[in-house]
Amino acid sequence: MERILTKNVGKPNSQDIEVYSGGGGYKALEKALGMKPEDVIAEVKKSKLVGRGGAAFPAGLKWEFTRRESAETKFIVCNADEGEPGTFKDRGILLNDPHLLLEALVIGGYAIGTSKGFIYIRGEYYREIETVEKAVEQAKAKGYLGNNILGSDFSFNVQLYKGAGAYVCGEETALLESMEGSRGCPDCRPPFPAQSGFLGKPTAVNNVETLCNIPAIMTNGGDWYSRIGSPDSPGPKLFCLSGQVNKPGVYELPMGITLRELIENHGEGVKGEFKAALPGGVSSSLLTNLDTKLDYRSVAKAGSMLGSGAVIVINKDTSIIDVAKNTIDFFAHESCGKCSVCREGTRRAREILTRFSNGGGKAEELDLLLELGEVMYDTACCGLGQAAMNATASAIRLFGKEFEQKVRK
Amino acid sequence: MGISVWRTKVDAIMESCGKSKEALLPCLETVQEMCGYIPQEAITYLRENLDVPSIDIYGVITFYGMLTTKEQGKYVIRICDSLPCHLNKSDGVLGIIENELGIKAGETSAERRFTLEVVPCLGLCDKAPAMMINDKIYENLTDGSIKEVIAELKR
Amino acid sequence: MVTLTINGEQITVPEGTSIMRAAKQVHVDIPHLCYLEMLEPEYHCRICVVEIEGEPRLAPSCVRQVSEGMKVQTNSARVRRARRMIVELLLANHHIDCPTCERNQTCELLKLAFELGVKEIRFEGEKPHYELDKTSPTIIRDPNKCVLCGRCVRVCHDVQTVSVIGFVNRGLETMVSTFLENGLGNVECANCGQCIHVCPVGAIKEKSAVDEVWAVLADPEKHVVVQEAPAVRAALGEELGLPAGTLVTGRMHAALRRLGFNAVFDTNFSADLTIMEEGSELVKRVKDGGVLPQITSCSPGWIKFMEHFYPDLIPNVSTCKSPQQMFGALSKTYYVEKAGIDPARIVSVSIMPCTAKKFEAQRPEMADSGFQDVDYVLTTRELSRMIKEAGINFASLPDEPAEELMGLYSGAATIFGATGGVMEAALRTAYKLVTGKELEKLDIMPVRGLDGVKTATVNMDGLEVKVAVAHGLGNARKVLDEVREGKSPYHFIEIMACPGGCAGGGGQPISFDLVLRGIRGQVLHNEDKGLPYRKSHDNPSIKKVYEDYLKEPLGEKSHHLLHTKYTRREVV
């Protein structure tokens, strides 16, 4: 498969605008500016591109909804608050190919009809922030940002916002709250950001990786893109492989490759014997079938969630209770605390799993955890709370014996 | 810390973002970066200029892991213990550093030289176990490499 | 209009209606905790979730709007299980000491646990161990009982616009606190106590003086004197088995006697006194070109708010003390002279609908009698508990009057407890002072009622006196900002810190219902109508105190005992 997202990675000085445009960069923008915004959106819809941040919402539709709103002021925001454990793909793009993102962002702004774009980067990504800031200056100097871009009537500016250490701000409504100067607690949806987002205005929030597909779609057309990889979730995917695997890293591969292919052909195999994998970071359920196809539908059918494609591999020497506890520790730490069920649910789940870790578990607490997981899915305000118990619940279902061994006699 | 240290930069942010709540997070981050924490004078200044109640500003500061009203060590060590790092022995990393510095996670050492924190995923999962010290990244840590880094900073 | 189905029943409601509101049409009150009418819904508790056909998860009905063709189930097994588990989780993190908790009669969490059929708390683990916030002389916060519903934060920010409490920290460490966690006593808290009314549990309560008052009542050396604010008589019955809207003046006095108070007087006497002093002050400002508009000063919540946020308006605020404090000063000077008692033996107690009065009583300047003018303040709630503790069958008590010396009052005094009451009372007397004639139409309707800001113009022999009334500090700001900008058209402004006026004070029976507060106010207007004297200057006890003691309004003795100064306070 021809590389789209990582095609510039590895080129010396790939962050430089000269290298980027030398390799054909900003031509897609030129093409888009010659089209009607509605036609730009139509191509994205044709491509069937869905969000790569985890929610997998059709990107074209999101832009269309935002464009349709009658407000005068709108915004486009790039969500670069990558925080899911096991995800490190956006960092690679920000560090190595920032212009790819910028070009996409300008196209997006043109499509939805706004001249104001934001990039919200997590605060710990110091090098990446610096790189993007430099890229913005370069783009401004060359006229790809600012007034009358490439001689058109379209003007567009980018402002950077930095995160300050809160995973929950990767949730789009929490991200917008954070930008507005509030605590980063998610909002109720509906209304969606496309209708009422930043400062109450229609806002399209897109993940870094999602946006980086746009220039190629503009250049080669939506139909071309829709034929890459798996038919119902087409396109390339940046899979992040980590955990107990020999060659962790980011791999650009078509959607639909199997877990086995990813781990063995690209990751050079498991360190030890394979036990299970989390396909979508700690927010997903465990998979034990290596032949599961990694696309949204197949993973969902297997009882899990592909999410951002953060594949974490676990070997047989690892206690699954330890894994479950680590995931719950994460969510307990990162819960925003606003909604009762996530805050109190992660608090108690952590206590129960700690008891099991120490050999003092109670048998009835396993059913209690499963029930808690269902209630949290049903009632938590945002994806964090809804998914927090996924890994634990799947651990209990798939590796119940391990838990039973830790029940206090 | 003198008000003049951060005031110019904060004024510049308010100039470009406008004197409203959207400027709050960038202003707080600037003060944090320049002072290593957020002093009360800064909160008062922001309250007056952005018209945001102090409790709201305090609520924002305490929400985020990278903002604090307490003075921190010269070197803030952040060790990741999320799953990929955990599976690659991040608690070993913590153990070594606690030993070398004589402080536990969440504490600041004497003379405010080191602050030690355990943090969630830093996005360095393919180079696990990993940590950050201030804005520098340390990846693929081994017992030896960790001790070297700490020894260097202790000098 | 939108047509939808709730629990199988089809209804039509206006667009923008929440599912929770719509459900009332099918006779369903969806269980909830953090939702409160009059406050923006914030969906913290998730208890109000409902099932919507076609959606994978449950939805919060407090904030979710209806849509055409929506099919909602409010009480499916899935919904009921979720609600129960959430209450279980909240209880697991709550200090459960119901038998000794002051709110056990009005606790919404206890009610939910009962009504939702919670049979056990299966989550065992750590309980919170926060320190109580006891820094304020009026209000105590107990974070160990807090359910993080955010109602107190919303009322403090959005309704009262004081903004001193808020959420701090994140996740499991989230709590409601003050700036730098320094405590209510160290920030701009106005002591209005509205947070107490909206709190669904026992996490916020007033600092109680009940034990101290029992002790002085039992001390034979002490001569305990009591005064009761007008709003108390309009609400006390609610705590003692009587329906809302019952005036209990006589039984209130009777109960106080039976509790052992040595002299039962009435704050309404000094409310009339306040009118004499303040009315004279207003006329003087108008005649002498003094600072206008004059703003009332009997609401201590408003006064502290002003000292923090509008200290530049101190010249506008009347120098009159509140009726409570005027009474206190006289109880240890005028009264002791008349009764021949050693003032050192006097303990002056007040019964107030207000929490801020506790702060007011301990202000250092409130000691013009040579002693602390008011020793203890009990809220309406605290008094009701003492009555219950004494086993007094309140409803069956006979009506008894207060002692006339400092207990006889006019209708103008009693309406102080309703928003607009002070204004109306003042106008009745000011009219006489300006024109020399008696005002004929004593019921000044434009200043009555529950609108946030009310205005009126009263013609006093050609002088068009313009007045404004605001209740709730958020509404107060609207009028005050105008004054600050020099654009205020008014001569006289009444400000009450609490929505509904004193009828909704922080010490009243727990309720944030503005309609109920309006009913309590109406009770006072009805009392006014039936009284022999309806103007402060007609009150014989008032004539007597001036004749025998004070000589004249704004005179030297008045100046010394009945007027005060204010303190500029910081905003942190």
Question: B120: domain CATH number?
Answer: 3.40.30.10
Q: Which of A101-105, A229-233, C116-120 has the lowest mean pLDDT?
A: A229-233
Check CB contact under 8 Å for A375 and C57. Answer: no
* Residue C365 is among the residues annotated as catalytic for this protein: yes
Mean pLDDT of C556-564: 97
What digits encode the pLDDT tens for the residues C503-534? Answer: 999 999 999 999 999 999 999 999 999 999 99
| B29 and B52 both lie in a single domain | yes
Which residues does A contribute to its contact with C (CB < 8 Å)?
166, 183, 188, 190, 332-341, 343-348, 351, 364, 368, 371-372, 375, 377-381, 386
CB–CB of A211/A78 below 8 Å?
yes
Reference C341, options C218, C219, C225, C217; nearest CA is: C225
- pLDDT tier, C322 (very low <50, low <70, confident <90, very high otherwise): very high
Q: Hunting for tokens 């209770």 — which residue is that? A: A321
What is the pairing mode between strands A236-243 and A249-254? antiparallel
Mean pLDDT of C277-302: 97
Nearest residue of A to residue B18, measured between CA atoms = A180
Instruction: State yes or no: pLDDT of B1 exceeds 60.
Output: no
Secondary structure (DSSP) of A22-77: HTTTTHHHHHHHTS-HHHHHHHHHHHT-B-TTTT--BHHHHHHHHHHS--S--EEE
pLDDT for the residue numbered A230: 82
Q: Hunting for tokens 């709108």 — which residue is that? A: A74
Q: Does the structural domain C210-562 have CATH classification 3.40.50.1000?
A: no
Q: Is residue B126 part of a domain?
A: yes
Nearest residue of A to residue B78, measured between CA atoms = A124
Sheet order of strands, A249-254 included: A249-254, A236-243, A310-315, A274-282
Check CB contact under 8 Å for C63 and A188. Answer: yes
CB–CB of A99/B135 below 8 Å?
no
CA distance B142 to chain C (A): 32
* Residue C318 is among the residues annotated as catalytic for this protein: yes
Q: Which two tokens stand for residue B117?
A: 């924190």
Instruction: State yes or no: pLDDT of C133 exceeds 80.
Output: yes
Interface check B133 vs A, CB under 8 A: no
The count of other CB atoms within 10 Å of the CB of residue C404 is: 15
Chain B positions in Cβ-Cβ contact with residue C165 (cut-off 8 Å): 55
| B150 and B85 both lie in a single domain | yes
Exposure of A395 by Cβ count < 10 A (0-12 exposed, 13-18 middle, 19+ buried)? Answer: buried
How many Å apart are CA A123 and CA A178, to the nearest integer? 12
pLDDT for the residue numbered B2: 60
Reference A81, options A125, A147, A133, A137; nearest CA is: A125
Chain C positions in Cβ-Cβ contact with residue A188 (cut-off 8 Å): 43, 60, 63-64
CB–CB of C329/C350 below 8 Å?
no
pLDDT for the residue numbered A153: 94
Half-sphere exposure of C114 (CA within 13 A, CB side): 9
Interface check B106 vs C, CB under 8 A: no
Nearest residue of B to residue C170, measured between CA atoms = B63
How many Å apart are CA A74 and CA A116, to the nearest integer? 8
Q: Hunting for tokens 């004297």 — which residue is that? A: C533
Exposure of A132 by Cβ count < 10 A (0-12 exposed, 13-18 middle, 19+ buried)? Answer: buried
How many Å apart are CA C381 and CA C208, to the nearest integer? 10
Check CB contact under 8 Å for A341 and C89. Answer: yes
| % pLDDT > 70, chain C | 100
What digits encode the pLDDT tens for the residues A294-348? Answer: 999 999 999 999 999 999 999 999 999 999 999 999 999 999 999 999 999 999 9
- pLDDT tier, B105 (very low <50, low <70, confident <90, very high otherwise): very high
Q: Does the structural domain C128-206 have CATH classification 3.30.70.100?
A: no
Chain A positions in Cβ-Cβ contact with residue C151 (cut-off 8 Å): none
- Average predicted confidence (pLDDT) for chain B: 94
pLDDT for the residue numbered A197: 97
Give the total number of structural domains in chain B.
2
| B47 and B92 both lie in a single domain | no
The count of other CB atoms within 10 Å of the CB of residue C100 is: 7
Nearest residue of B to residue A337, measured between CA atoms = B63
Which spans in A358-389 are helix H?
364-379, 383-387
Instruction: State yes or no: pLDDT of C120 exceeds 80.
Output: yes
Which of A75, A79, A88 to mutate: most B Cβ within 10 Å? A88
Q: Specify whether the backbone of B152 is left (phi greater than 0), alpha (psi in -120 to 50) or beta.
A: alpha
Interface check B54 vs A, CB under 8 A: no
| B87 and B145 both lie in a single domain | yes
Q: Which two tokens stand for residue C153?
A: 């934060």
Interface check C48 vs B, CB under 8 A: no
Check CB contact under 8 Å for B40 and C164. Answer: no
| B23 and B83 both lie in a single domain | no
Exposure of C526 by Cβ count < 10 A (0-12 exposed, 13-18 middle, 19+ buried)? Answer: middle
SS3 assignment for C392-419: CCHHHCCCCCCCHHHCCCCHHHHHHHCC
DSSP state of A361: B
Q: How far is CA A104 from the centre of its chain?
A: 16
CB–CB of B137/B80 below 8 Å?
no
Non-local (6+) Cβ contacts of C307 within 8 A are C314, C566, C567, C568, C569
What digits encode the pLDDT tens for the residues A30-72? Answer: 999 999 999 999 999 999 999 998 889 999 999 999 999 999 9
What are the distances in angstroms from CA A182 to CA A61, A174, C258, C290? 28, 9, 54, 44
pLDDT for the residue numbered A188: 86
Check CB contact under 8 Å for C44 and A338. Answer: yes
Instruction: State yes or no: pLDDT of B3 exceeds 70.
Output: no
Reference B93, options B69, B67, B124; nearest CA is: B124
Nearest residue of C to residue A190, measured between CA atoms = C64
CA distance B14 to chain A (A): 13
Size of interface B-C (CB pairs under 8 A): 38
How many Å apart are CA A129 and CA A126, to the nearest integer? 5
| % pLDDT > 90, chain C | 100
Chain A positions in Cβ-Cβ contact with residue B137 (cut-off 8 Å): 127
Instruction: State yes or no: pLDDT of B129 exceeds 70.
Output: yes
How many Å apart are CA C519 and CA C121, to the nearest integer? 40
Q: How far is CA C426 from the centre of its chain?
A: 21
Three-state secondary-structure class, residue B109: coil
Element (H, E) at B131: strand B131-133
Non-local (6+) Cβ contacts of A294 within 8 A are A237, A239, A255, A256, A257, A258, A259, A262, A279, A306, A309, A311
Neighbours of chain B (3+ CB pairs under 8 A): A, C
Chain B positions in Cβ-Cβ contact with residue C178 (cut-off 8 Å): 55
Q: Specify whether the backbone of A187 is left (phi greater than 0), alpha (psi in -120 to 50) or beta.
A: beta
Domains and CATH numbers, chain A: 17-227 (3.40.50.11540), 237-315 (3.10.20.600), 320-405 (1.20.1440.230)
Check CB contact under 8 Å for A83 and B84. Answer: no
What digits encode the pLDDT tens for the residues A96-141? Answer: 999 999 999 999 999 999 999 999 999 999 999 999 999 999 999 9
Check CB contact under 8 Å for C170 and B47. Answer: no
Nearest residue of A to residue C174, measured between CA atoms = A337
Check CB contact under 8 Å for C166 and B58. Answer: yes
CA distance B39 to chain C (A): 11
How many Å apart are CA C19 and CA C30, to the nearest integer? 9
* Residue C440 is among the residues annotated as catalytic for this protein: no
Three-state secondary-structure class, residue B6: helix
Q: Hunting for tokens 């504490």 — which residue is that? A: B107
- Average predicted confidence (pLDDT) for chain A: 96
CB–CB of C546/C537 below 8 Å?
no
Q: Which two tokens stand for residue A371?
A: 């029930």
- Smallest Cβ–Cβ distance between A340 and the set C46, C171, C173 belongs to C46
pLDDT for the residue numbered A309: 95
* Residue C208 is among the residues annotated as catalytic for this protein: no
Domain ranges for chain C: 2-91, 128-206, 210-562
Catalytic residue among C188, C278, C307, C424: C278
How many Å apart are CA B9 and CA B28, to the nearest integer? 11
pLDDT for the residue numbered C189: 98
How many Å apart are CA B110 and CA A167, to the nearest integer? 31
* Residue C192 is among the residues annotated as catalytic for this protein: no
Which of C168, C172, C195, C481 to mutate: most B Cβ within 10 Å? C168
Cis peptide before C99 (omega within 30 of 0): no
Catalytic residue among C53, C55, C131, C365: C365
* Residue C173 is among the residues annotated as catalytic for this protein: no
| Fold of the C2-91 domain | Ubiquitin-like (UB roll) (3.10.20)
Sheet order of strands, C346-352 included: C263-264, C223-228, C346-352, C376-379
Catalytic residue among C145, C205, C357, C432: C357
Size of interface A-C (CB pairs under 8 A): 100
| B59 and B79 both lie in a single domain | no
Q: How far is CA A214 from the centre of its chain?
A: 16
What digits encode the pLDDT tens for the residues C201-245? Answer: 999 999 999 999 999 999 999 999 999 999 999 999 999 999 999
How many Å apart are CA A306 and CA A294, to the nearest integer? 7
- Smallest Cβ–Cβ distance between A340 and the set C81, C90, C122 belongs to C90
- Smallest Cβ–Cβ distance between A337 and the set C58, C89, C174 belongs to C174
Mean pLDDT of B108-118: 93
| Helix pair angle (C323-331, C267-288), 10° resolution | 110
- Smallest Cβ–Cβ distance between B55 and the set C164, C169, C170 belongs to C164
Check CB contact under 8 Å for B22 and A180. Answer: yes
pLDDT for the residue numbered A409: 77
pLDDT for the residue numbered A229: 84
pLDDT for the residue numbered B5: 81
Chain B positions in Cβ-Cβ contact with residue A333 (cut-off 8 Å): 120
Secondary structure (DSSP) of C62-86: TTPBP-TT-EEESS-HHHHHHHHHH
How many Å apart are CA B77 and CA B116, to the nearest integer? 5
Containing structural domain, residue B127 = 75-154
Residues forming a β-bridge with C302: none
Q: How far is CA A150 from the centre of its chain?
A: 31
Check CB contact under 8 Å for C172 and A337. Answer: yes
- pLDDT tier, C448 (very low <50, low <70, confident <90, very high otherwise): very high
Reference A397, options A313, A260, A289, A285; nearest CA is: A285
Check CB contact under 8 Å for A167 and B121. Answer: yes
What are the distances in angstroms from CA A250 to CA A102, A104, A372, C49? 21, 21, 34, 40
CB–CB of B102/B109 below 8 Å?
yes
Mean pLDDT of A77-98: 96
Check CB contact under 8 Å for B69 and C187. Answer: no
pLDDT for the residue numbered A55: 86
Three-state secondary-structure class, residue B65: coil
| B9 and B80 both lie in a single domain | no
Q: Is residue B121 part of a domain?
A: yes
pLDDT for the residue numbered A54: 86
What digits encode the pLDDT tens for the residues C323-361? Answer: 999 999 999 999 999 999 999 999 999 999 999 999 999
